Chains A and B, each alone.
Chain A
Amino acid sequence: MRLAELHLRARGGPVFATGLGLVTLLSWIAGNWIAGRPYFDGPASRVPVVMLAPLLAAVLLGPTMAGADEELERGTARPWRRWRLGHLLLAVAAIGAAVTSTGLRAPEVFGAHALLRNTLGCVGLVALGAALLGARLAWLPAFGYVCAVYAAGPQTGDAARIWAWPLQASSVTASWLTAGGLFALGTIWYATLGAGAGHGPRPLPR
């Protein structure tokens, strides 16, 4: 338990938890504001919350994907694969629970299921980013991809069910499979290999 506490502190866990709390609060406020506008109608109006809240939470997760000195960490006699897997699963559970809870009271209005699906996909992309680019740039693939899909606007068609997964209704199975696949791929890759080299050690906070 002590080790887990030290691990989370070393990875910036408190900052992440504070950020996640803020994202949850903002998601709640924005969801209520949109649901309370008479000129907004239908699931399309909640897209900003359904896409941006999980993305923002996943972006906050990025810096926690590596410690201050990854090389030094790997030199210690710890089962890092299991620690990394646990770290990611705990993070996705925390993000999923927090973000999804903002839409649970009326899932059909606030898109609770879509929030959960997008959490899986975004965390998967951040994990992939961490494994490939390092923790410093872990946010880049998720940020770039989700923003591009968001800017593309509503998409229909068979291919869009896969590539525009964050925008699809939660009843579209293909979008869940894509988001789940990204999460599985990112988790396995990150848990197995850890964060990429990035740019060397991070200066310790003073």
Chain B
Amino acid sequence: MRRPLRVELFRGTAPAAALATAGGTVWMLGVHTDAWAGLAGYFRSTLLVLCALMVAAGAWQAGRERRRAMGEMLTSTARPAWQPMLVAWFAVALGGTIGTVSVLGGAAVLIAPVATYVGQGWWWGLLVGLLALWTAAALGVLVGRLVPFRAIAPVAGLATFVGLGAGTYLSNDRVAWLSPVQDTDLTAGQFIPGELHLTQAVWLLALTAALLALAARLRWTTLLTVTLAATAAVPFLTGPRIGRLPTDSRAIEPVCTVDGPPVCVARINAFILDDVATVTQPLLARMTRIPGAPIRVADLDTLSDGQYPEDHVDTVWLNLSEQPRALGGLARGDSLRRLFGRASLPTCDALPEEADRTQYVAREWLTDEPQPVADLPTDQLRALPPDQQRAWFGEYLAAARDCDQEHLVQLGERL
């Protein structure tokens, strides 16, 4: 059996499948570099494209017999008809897996020196994801053998993409987990429980066997494997709602700076702690000794799912979900200052224009970021001695916290 497999691997669709999945993985990682941080978790989102490619590759491989008019020749050999089909499927699945794993391995090598936390049980997510590629190849083989149409490979691939894409919009209950594509955001410290991985793996294995048996037209084997697949699907169809995924407590542990004003980020974001501190510590230092001003920065990812930041005025809560870059550094460093300005100062709605201008002055004084209002008297504020600047800002904080319009207008007129 080794020789036919070698021939299929080198001369069948397997090399094209390897190239396609490698290209697809590179492309998905390349255009979503911010998602590399949770590489294993993001792989499950990438499956939306990879499964479609594998279905197309499987269908292309299975259509070969018809394209090359090999039917009679194959039936004249001593081997049962399902064996060449199985070898062809195995070769495509192996090719696709090699293409994907080689790119993911390369990405892991690049990320390893930077990453501060890989995620709980990440390898299970990866294994089940790879298993899904094998299932997709089997589906492609079945479709390719059933449908005598020249362009069935791309049509089946696109149909798979649309179907799996639509599946991600199902409510996050058990039925959605029949699909290997999960839009789970492991970078936010969530993880897929082990029993769910196991149930998915059993379902995908049974489904693969059923699809291959159907493609090989083995009546009794089909009956057995379809029964197995239906049994494996029962926990998804009848079990209780899964709801939101559990939080990985170690991923969201705060990691803090040791020098200067305290800045804390979740362990999964710890590799950008210095970058965040570089931006936010000078801003915190600017508010030192101002009564009622925040004294520390915290990452929203350090909160458990469903938990909200307490209304502590001494903490600036930042949403860093779009900040980490795969290989370190901030994706949007310039926006972090604006984010800090918005998160650190109390905001009042429906203020008169003069009071609103005072808010913009305070924000510009703190962040040095240009505001969407012209001719602000921020320079007059900066021209005051430092003690008076801080006193003005302290008064502003107190007035803004109470949304005291008169006081805010007065503060603006004072400049």
Question: Which A residues have a C-beta under 8 Å from some C-beta of B?
Answer: 12, 15, 19, 26, 30, 48, 52, 55-56, 59-60, 62-63, 135-136, 138-140, 143, 147-148, 151-153, 199, 202-203, 205
Contacts and interface: CB of A to CB of B under 8 A. Distances in A.
Interface string B294-326: 000000000000000000000000000000000
Contact of A62 (B31, B49, B67, B150): B150
Interface string B153-187: 11101100110010000000000000000000000
Contact of A203 (B27, B66, B158): B66
B151 interface: yes
B154 A139 contact: yes
A48 B165 contact: yes
Given A143-B157, A151-B27, 12 more contacts: A15-B149, A55-B158, A59-B151, A136-B150, A138-B151, A140-B154, A147-B49, A151-B28, A151-B49, A152-B27, A153-B32, A203-B69
Interface of B: 24, 27-28, 31-32, 49, 66-67, 69, 148-151, 153-155, 157-158, 161-162, 165
B140 to A, nearest CB: 14
A63 B149 contact: yes
Given A48-B165, A55-B158, A203-B69, A135 B49 contact: no
Contacts of B149: 15, 63
Contacts of B161: 52
Nearest to B24: A151
Nearest to B20: A144
B152 to A, nearest CB: 9
A139 B69 CA distance: 21
Contacts of B150: 12, 62-63, 135-136, 202
A199 B67 CA distance: 9
B151 A151 contact: no
A59 B27 contact: no
Nearest to A155: B31
Contacts of B24: 151
A3 B220 CA distance: 48
B158 A60 contact: no
Contacts of A136: 67, 150
Contacts of B162: 26, 30, 48, 52
